A and B are shown apart, each in its own frame.
Chain A
Amino acid sequence: MGRLGVTLRVFIGRLILMSRRRRLDDELRDEVGLHIELRRQALIDDGMDPDAAEHESRRMFGNATAIREETRDMWGFPSMDTLVQDIRYGARLLRRSPTVTAASIVSLAIGIGASAGVFTLADAMLLRPLAVHAPEELLVFQWRSGPTYPYGSLSGYSWGDDTGESSTSFPLQALQQTRARAQDAIDVFGFADLYQVNLSIGAAAELAEATAVSGNYFGVLGVSATHGRLLLDSDDRDDAPPATVISDSLWKRRFDGAPAAVGRTLVVNGVAFTVVGIAPASFHGTGQVGSSPDVFVALSTAAQVRRNTEAPTNPNYWWVLMMGRLKPGSDAERARERVDLILKQTVHAARPEISDTDLPRVQALPGAHGQVQVRDGMREPLKMMSIVVAIVLLVACANVANLLLARGRARARELSVRIALGAPRRRIIRQLLTEGVVLAACGSAFGLLAARWVAGALMPAIANGWEPLTVTTGVNFRLVGFVAGLASVCVLLFALIPALRATDTSLMAGLHEAGRGSASSPRRRGLSATLVVSQITLSMVLVATALLLVRSVRQLQQVDLGFDPGRILTFRLDPGLNGYPAERVFDIYSNILERLRAAPGVEGATLSSHTLISNSANIILAARTDEPMIDRGSPARGAFTRSHRAWRLTVDSHFFTTMGIALEQGRTFDGRDTAASQPVAIVNYALARQLFNTDDVIGRRFRTESMSGAPAYEIVGVSRNALYTSLRDSTTPTMYVSYRQRSPGAMTFEIRTAGDPAAFVGSAREIIQSVDRSVPLFKVQTQEEQVAASVNRERLFATLAAWLGIVALVLSAIGLYALLAYTVTLRTGEIGIRMALGAGRGEVRWMIVRQSLRVALGGLALGVVASIAGTELLRSLLFNVEPGDLITLALAAGLILVVTLSAGYVPARRASQVDPLSALRAE
């Protein structure tokens, strides 16, 4: 039998024995009894008298109790028994000092809860793989080309600079070719985000997320339907009847989870689809993290749903995302080479003018988590949050360590006695560590409870604010494992050092020292002081962070918008999704505007292509008519782009009066400006100066370059600079154009009301319904809410940092207080002598205050250095305040100084009130 076999066998045997303890105990007693009885009989048979035989049989057996004890130890795990004992003992001791215990548990719960909350987010965003079969076999494809775009138009994520362009979108042909020609290396599938669609089931319309997928999508992913079937290749054909798979959440929301939903019809952007199946609840597609499509349709229907003019098979229209599952025995590089070759051939055939070096190079990324772009954007805020909560956790640990140190001192006598009585040091350290574990376990339990709530509260800080984010946050084994690991680290941090310290025999003067409390041991106080210094250092970083963020949010809130956001209700409409022609959309819009303006309590109503301060915009290039446009791919393109960017907002003629943007020259749009007449524009001063270097631009003309051609505009008006996309972009060169001169897409309606704008929502809904029942309102909110929401991330970080800063500061103050109070107790005798020798109360007070000052200043000095370095990480969140800003640092330092000195004052006062006589008598 191998050694491992024996060990395992012993282990299992022990487990079995442990479970049958009582019976075994009885049996052992019987066995021992029989033994002694038989021996006695034998002795009597040998001629011994019964009394002596009774005695001798027991003597020969030995100490029956000890032997039974020894045997019993084998039934189960002696170390576990001691552990249970330790836990009971520890819990009893912890109950005996409820203040210390409660303070420790609360500290740990805050530290661990905050960390667990951030971990929950990180887990949901970064760690959790797609809920599909063997996600680790999946690959995501993207490409990078030279500066000449290989595509004509693109739908999806793209990013790049002067040296090249990257994207995850591919032409449909690349997908089809890869499916046909790379089967030996990889099973590729494709999908495309259809973004928000107008979804009608029966009479009720709503906005939903939709995704188009290739016929093999679900099959390759290994997802199966909970009801009905998923989409197949036979659905992904031009002649196939439109079929759709809906999400579990839509199914529950709109069909009450009834299996009869399969076979029902729903209308997506005016196209009728038959529901063929329900996807599992855990499946949220393969798109960006946080996206959660409600409707899956076949790629062959995408063009109909999308209602754009691009032919889906046009090799210059890139709109399909590609992923794949590696074939057994293949590897990522082989698959990449195949896709790379196919894409290059496709591009070369469609655009022979592109040089070989500029052709896109395909990259294959691990696909277990789906697409990566949004996830990458979340790393930064998550990293920042992690740092902040780690600081809080450290402060909390330092605090608990300090509390335990203080209690260790109080227990010095008990521990000394136990060591003197022969308890091994290891045993006592284990006992103290167990107490730490009990504390950490309680803290973790509360922390786990708080985690979900913390995660929910922090969620808006990582969302980018303009895309919906659906994430399930729950307790899972990764979170529990993380918290357990964290708690273990905490125990080592806060319990091990005090335990080693408390049992250090060179310091174990406990028996005589603890009783008298005069000989202060500088090493112990040194450790406490170090802990307090580090707490103050960390608090300083947090307080400085909080102040910087708070100041920056205040700065953001005081930004001059250039328009008046008060009493404005906004919502968006997109009737075009129903497949209405442009004329009908115009009619709906002007009808709605007319009725809104006539409604009671409305001071003005208008519309614009984008909601102001919503981080979305239509950015184009604008140049004077005498300037040549620099083409894409030219080396000078980058510089030209930077100096000719213009933000275009499509609006209605009432926009300026309704929003309160001063139109300082010229006129607004009117009936003269139609689709057939000369395109006109109103520009703000920023664009006027960027184009013509003067404010006097009425009547001048400029050209634009955008995806949809390059019309030349005549300037008919000049407006004051008003903010467009965000509070941070103070002067965006902006051109306003009339919606009547552009194809009408989705629009934001802005209504200025006399009273509370939120109270007008019902009336607005009725008005829209009276014009067209199948046009849903979405993104309903007031303009002020939108402005506030645009600095959500900043405000959340500020709030988080402020709260945690306060927590850290309070914890540090408690630490300092405990340290000084202890010092005063230890030095009572010394203080008595000093006072007896003529020291004044003021001097004594100063002595203690000096000590707190020393600790506080030490912490502050380190804290300033750490803050200057640390707040650099905040740069992206700050506005009009520099990291390491001196005024902020001074404020933070002042605040900490005040708090720490207050914490030190009470012990100092107590010291000064020492009665020399009684102090000396106690000596």
Chain B
Amino acid sequence: MGKKKSDRQELLPGTLDMLILKALTRDVMHGYGIADHIRQMSDEVLQVEEGSLYPALQRLQLQGLIASEWGHSINNRRARYYRLTPAGRRQLGESESSFSRLVEAITRVMRPA
């Protein structure tokens, strides 16, 4: 706790899905793992309201971008593990390239050469 500082950023709209897909490229994960992964990889800058992960996971599943099955966590608790589907992998590629185009464009505007 204690990190109530302005260096924490709200997510850009629409990027949560991409972050989830990205997180899942490495490994199958349960919900908590994904949330924790995003936190840690962004050096705790990106603030995901952890609960908002779950509707997003549900949506991605419906779209067939991820799949899930029940398994057991390390400490032997029942947990649902999510993995990327081939369609999800394709989607991630598209999202990444369009995202980097967007970032480049914004950068060009903000820091004109």
Interfacial residues, chain A to chain B (CB-CB below 8 A): 1, 6, 9-10, 13-14, 17, 27-28, 30-32, 34-35, 37-39, 42-43, 48, 52, 56, 60-64, 66-68, 70-71, 74
Contact = CB atoms under 8 A, between A and B. Distances in A.
14 contacts: A13-B62, A31-B31, A31-B80, A34-B73, A35-B31, A35-B32, A38-B73, A39-B50, A43-B1, A61-B51, A63-B51, A67-B51, A67-B54, A68-B54
Given A56-B1, A74-B62, A31 B79 contact: yes
A31 B35 CA distance: 13
The main secondary structure of chain A at its interface with chain B is helix
Given A39-B32, A56-B1, A62-B49, A31 B54 contact: yes
Interface string B75-95: 001111000000100000000
A47 to B, nearest CB: 10
B55 A1 contact: no
A218 to B, nearest CB: 52
Contacts of B73: 34, 38
Nearest to B77: A34
A68 B58 CA distance: 11
B22 interface: no
A63 B49 CA distance: 9
A32 B79 contact: no
Interface residues of B, number: 25
Contact of B80 (A1, A17, A27, A38): A27
A35 B35 contact: yes
B104 interface: no
Which residue, B36, B52, B55, B77, has most C-beta atoms of chain A within 10 A?
Answer: B55
Contacts of A28: 54
Contacts of B64: 1, 6, 9, 13
A424 B36 CA distance: 39
A62 B52 contact: yes
Nearest to B79: A34
Contacts of B80: 27, 31
B9 interface: no
Nearest to B57: A71
B51 A34 contact: no
Interface centre among B1, B77, B79 (most CB of A within 10 A): B1
Interface in B60-78: 61-64, 70, 73, 77-78
Contacts of B63: 6, 9-10
Nearest to B64: A9
Nearest to B86: A1
A30 B62 CA distance: 20
Given A31-B79, A32-B51, A35-B35, 16 more contacts: A9-B62, A10-B62, A10-B63, A30-B78, A31-B31, A31-B54, A34-B30, A34-B79, A52-B1, A56-B1, A61-B49, A67-B52, A67-B54, A74-B55, A74-B59, A74-B62
B51 A74 contact: no
A39 B51 CA distance: 12
B61 A13 contact: yes
Contacts of B59: 74
A66 B55 CA distance: 10
A275 B51 CA distance: 79
Q: Which 7 A-B pairs have the closest CB atoms?
A: A62-B51, A67-B51, A62-B49, A38-B32, A13-B62, A70-B55, A35-B32
